Chain A
Amino acid sequence: MKPAYNIGAWMHLLLVAMILLLSVTACNEGDTFTESIFVDQPELDPNSATYAFDSWLEANYLVPYNLQFRYKMQDVGSDMDYNLVPTSLERSESMAILVKYLWFDVYKEVVSESFLKEHGPRIIHLIGSPAYNPSLGTMVLGTAEGGIKVTLYNCNMLDVNNLNIDIMNEYYFKTIHHEFAHILHQKRTYPREFENYSAGYYDPDGWQHRSESEAASLGFVSTYAGSQPREDFVEIIANYIVKTDAQWNAILDRASRPGVNQSGETVQDPLDGKALILIKLGIAEKWLKEAWQIDLKTLRAEVQERQLHIAEALNESYW
């Protein structure tokens, strides 16, 4: 028996009707693309205690980079599994200056003015505390979500009265370069051959139990680099950018010796850690040049120079 109605024809008809309805709706609303994704931002209130800072953020992040520097913490924008706290106003101000000085201005100078406008995140979210994993004994230093948002943790530890670039790099600026490298390789994937060099030595669950020495001897610039290939890739870039020559050479030196584990025992492995790091750095450097037209050495030199002048950068009057 033939069905009373042809379901296929009705579906076709329904689809046409829906397309028509949607077209009409779009036409009626008259949507156009806007320059900013933050189109419904409330006007800044001149009576607000943070007006001067907010105006500076608008002029230096929102307008040029289409980026919201989110220093007033939003629980909903954070990982609700962690106990977290916001960043203090003072430290947020310092972080905003330093992030611009050591990241945005560097790319503007070395790569191009438009590079971070095009490829940078749209949100930087500051969190005052670390994101602890008490059961694992680890803490999250930063996250990059879908190329849109970079979250920096532990910002309340920033001590502008006792500037220590090594600590600042460890918690913030190395993290920024680390997270930004994630954003870049999420857009244009890195060469798969990279993953072959340390295959079999990545330990996603136990990386934190390796010592720096042990990790280096296996060809990792940090313990976290030994967690998985993509972390290895961005750790090489981030460490190379922020470490001084002496610090970088110390990593290579460590990598050329047998590893000593957390119990103080020497660990034998068949790998040449230094050679592995240098090969992997070469792959990253080539990829940055070819995929992104970024000269890693020039970028590093600019960061190294600026790291010597962070006190002056902080002491300037901005608002």
Chain B
Amino acid sequence: MKIDSRHCLLVVLLFSLSSCLLTEDDLFPESAALRLNHAIDQAKATLLAAETGWVMDYFPTPESGGYTLLVKFDRSGLATVAARNTYFPTFTSSSGTFDVIGDNGPVLTFNSYNDLFHSFSNPENPTGIGLGGDYEFIILEVTDDLIKLKGKKRATDIRLRKLTAEEGWEAFANTVHDMDAFLFDPKAPSLFVHIGDKKYIATEGANHVFSMLPEGADKNLSEPERLPFIVTPNGLRLYKPYESGEGSEKIEVQHFVLNPDKTALVASENSTVRITGQPATAFFLDSLNWTGTNAWVIDKEHLGGLFSTAYQQVVENCKTKYKEDFDSFFLTYKGARRGKTFSFKSGRYEGAYDFEIALVNDRPVFTYKGTADRNGEIYLANIGGIGDFIAALGGDTYTVTADSPICPTVLTLTGVSNPNNWFKLILK
């Protein structure tokens, strides 16, 4: 090949290009690989530095409810995760390996199976999908007390907050669980969300996702707003800030705290936004508040006066007369035809007595209609004590107190005329 002026020109061009490149200012003092390595080292050091671990606000997906997990990262490469929630009703902890790897930037990965942590990612129940949660997280921001993460597959925003030394793991998990139990029960009536003068009905709180409709809206015609949230030790935090109104009327809230008298969750950002429960007497008012097949069972351990005496009689008579173990009395709604009933279960049999229940001066009044189903009639005729219980029920009005003003699941009914006659109802 002959060397000519074109070859020389090319060489000059190549060198010119190189020299131009060398004159560019470096935006970063280190190479991308080095910066990634440093970011990994910094994240790992921060994770390990929290001696009592981290509180992880874990949302499986941006659409699903959040759960509090406690996480401790160990130098041996093990991460211990603990929680107490719907999926783990008692305090549970489990370990597996973790690492911070270079992937989409520094990524925190829980890379061997952890019974607790990966239950949110396991594609079982429903088969093939599961809860759809991530177990690898892009580390977005690291400070000593807060690490912001983003789920790799679902892009869910997740936070790790440093747990303070005085907060024991089990105590912390129990506090969150107790708050959850105080606020939500899948069987309990819906909650109300008050935003200024607007009132919304919020259901599905027990799943940590409010399904919210304006009060009075037709459920069949309206699409509810869905607001995922996580329960905190003192209330709850919405996954994303909730916005309402425009201009000077605009309201934005995210954090709710249970007020001192435990009657409402109040938004920290705007105290006019509140979440309240149904009144304790709600289920006596509206059959819709008697949810599905659930029943208010009379607690055999907690009743007094005429009710206690009659109950004992019924138990003894079922045993001697029918050789049966009497199970329970309960109040339930048996559909439009039968309505509200006072029912019983003994051995294999159930029976029901038809009642009118009304509220007079906010006090329930029970009126036996005099009709019953076939079993009800047979037991009423043959088991002494049932008639007495029915008579006692209709013989007074009652003051009602609830275990929780937000989510009543235990009601105590005390006779107004004779407070010695009382009983407890447990929602089951």
Residues in A lying within 8 Å of B, measured CB to CB: 5, 9-10, 13-14, 16-17, 45, 47-50, 71-76, 80, 82-89, 91-92, 128-130, 132-134, 156
Chain A residue, CB-CB nearest to B104: A76
Interface pair B76/A86, CB less than 8 Å apart: no
Chain A residue, CB-CB nearest to B76: A49
Residues of A within 8 A of B289 (CB): none
Residues of B within 8 A of A85 (CB): 113, 118, 121-123, 135
Chain A residue, CB-CB nearest to B98: A72
Q: Which of B6-14, B168-176, B253-261 contacts A (4 or more CB under 8 A)?
A: B6-14
Q: Is B155 an interface residue (CB 8 A)?
A: no
Most buried by B among A50, A82, A129, A134: A129
Q: Is B216 an interface residue (CB 8 A)?
A: no
Interface pair B113/A87, CB less than 8 Å apart: yes
Interface pair B112/A71, CB less than 8 Å apart: yes
Q: Roughly how many angstroms separate A72 CA and B136 CA in the complex, as a whole number?
A: 12
Offer 26 A-B interface pairs, CB within 8 angstroms, sorted by A.
Answer: A13-B7, A14-B10, A17-B11, A17-B14, A45-B77, A49-B77, A72-B97, A72-B109, A72-B111, A73-B111, A73-B112, A74-B109, A75-B152, A80-B153, A83-B122, A84-B123, A85-B113, A85-B118, A86-B111, A86-B118, A87-B113, A89-B112, A92-B112, A132-B127, A133-B128, A134-B127
Q: Roughly how many angstroms separate A229 CA and B74 CA in the complex, as a whole number?
A: 50
Give, as a whole number of angstroms, the nearest-CB distance from B395 to chain A: 58
Interface pair B112/A83, CB less than 8 Å apart: no
Interface pair B111/A74, CB less than 8 Å apart: yes
Which 4 pairs of residues, A with B, have the shortest CB-CB distance? A134-B128, A132-B128, A88-B113, A83-B123
Interface residues on B, range: 35 or more
Residues of B within 8 A of A92 (CB): 112
The verdict on A88 contacting B96 (CB below 8 Å), with A13-B6, A72-B111, A133-B128 known, is yes
Q: Roughly how many angstroms separate A13 CA and B1 CA in the complex, as a whole number?
A: 9
Interface pair A49/B97, CB less than 8 Å apart: yes
Main secondary structure of the interface of B (DSSP, over half): loop
Chain B 117-166 interface residues, beta-carbon cutoff 8 Å to A:
118, 121-124, 126-130, 132, 135-136, 152-153
Q: Is B75 an interface residue (CB 8 A)?
A: yes
**How many residue-residue contacts, CB under 8 A, span A and B?**
94
Residues of B within 8 A of A89 (CB): 96-97, 112-113
Main secondary structure of the interface of A (DSSP, over half): loop
Residues of B within 8 A of A73 (CB): 109, 111-112
Q: Roughly how many angstroms separate A72 CA and B99 CA in the complex, as a whole number?
A: 9
Q: Is B110 an interface residue (CB 8 A)?
A: yes
Chain A residue, CB-CB nearest to B122: A85
Give, as a whole number of angstroms, the nearest-CB distance from B18 to chain A: 11
Q: Mark B55-78, 1 if CB is under 8 A from A, else 0.
A: 000000000000000000011111
Chain B 1-55 interface residues, beta-carbon cutoff 8 Å to A:
1, 6-7, 10-11, 14
Q: Is B218 an interface residue (CB 8 A)?
A: no
Interface pair B123/A130, CB less than 8 Å apart: yes
Give, as a whole number of angstroms, the nearest-CB distance from A69 to chain B: 13
Interface pair A128/B118, CB less than 8 Å apart: yes
Residues of B within 8 A of A133 (CB): 128
Chain B residue, CB-CB nearest to A92: B112
Q: Is B103 an interface residue (CB 8 A)?
A: yes
Give, as a whole number of angstroms, the nearest-CB distance from B92 to chain A: 15
Q: Roughly how many angstroms separate A151 CA and B7 CA in the complex, as a whole number?
A: 52
Chain B residue, CB-CB nearest to A88: B113
- Known pairs A5-B6, A84-B123, A86-B96; list 18 more (Cβ under 8 Å): A10-B6, A13-B10, A14-B10, A16-B1, A73-B109, A73-B112, A74-B109, A83-B122, A83-B123, A83-B132, A84-B121, A86-B110, A86-B113, A88-B96, A89-B113, A129-B124, A133-B128, A134-B129
